[in-house]
Structure 1
């Protein structure tokens, strides 16, 4: 996998997460609260950095989606 391909997937993944946040009108602070409710402790600053960099695991993505109440995720338009 080339660096360009890796960056495309990273951008796509963080776009999916940000898109779900926007769709549900959930701020970073709101997501921190929702994650805490399911036992995941994050600071707002750490969450912003993770999402901004796109440097998070698949498990973290699923935790965020579950915390936000996402039951269906559309991967393509």
Structure 2
């Protein structure tokens, strides 16, 4: 669910402008995780004037950094 929906309490038009994903592990590391739980830490750094950004890190249960992401989102609040 887009962060904006949580902040304003309803759905509004949103679209990803850019998204970058960095893979920090090997294919063997990802295979070892399998369907185990992951920790996702997601944070919005700034929002306003129709745009916001969001950063996330994804960690394995044993503390290995697997992925980092950065996303810029366009939004329009209609009400």
TM-score using structure 2 length: 0.22
Larger radius of gyration: 2
Structure with the higher helix share, 1 or 2 = 1
TM-score using structure 1 length: 0.22
Structure with the higher strand share, 1 or 2 = 2
